[in-house]
Amino acid sequence: MASIGKWTLSGVGNTTVLSTGLNSLATNTMSAASSTYDNSSNLDLYVDVELLLASLSPTAGAYCALYVWGAPDGSNFPAQSDADLRLTSTQLFCSIPIGTTASTAQRVVIRNLLLSPIKYQFKLDNQTGVSLAASGNTVKILPYNFNLNA
């Protein structure tokens, strides 16, 4: 009988990679880089990203871009400026559309993004047309794998 493949959650679980660094983040501004997330030992293949923005009233065309800084050698992260990041797509992890119909908190999930087995740092680019709220904003990741031995 053939094996059935099943999703397997990582032992890491849901991990907050950005929080207080998003507080009052001005529009057209990037957050500081997150603490390092080490996937070189967990070896997770995929990650879901959850962006939670506290109440805001974004303008038309609002989005946030999530960038990743990978360190394949384990310690040296790219030294690109925020302006350089926006000009290239090499570090862009995902673009997250933000609804503009109401002045409420928004939770957006991007699914099935690939992870390499390296160390990462994350940065969020606020392109919502408004500053983010003074608290309550987070970027979380949920890493997982595909288990062929389920």
- How confident is the model over 56-86, as pLDDT tens digits? 999 999 999 999 989 989 899 888 889 988 8
What local confidence, expressed as pLDDT, does residue 3 receive? 73
Banded pLDDT at 100 (limits 50, 70, 90): confident
What percentage of the chain exceeds 70 in pLDDT? Answer: 98
pTM over 0.85: yes
Residue 131 burial (10 A CB sphere; 0-12, 13-18, 19+): middle
Chain CA centroid to CA 3, Å: 33
CATH architecture of 14-144: Sandwich (2.60)
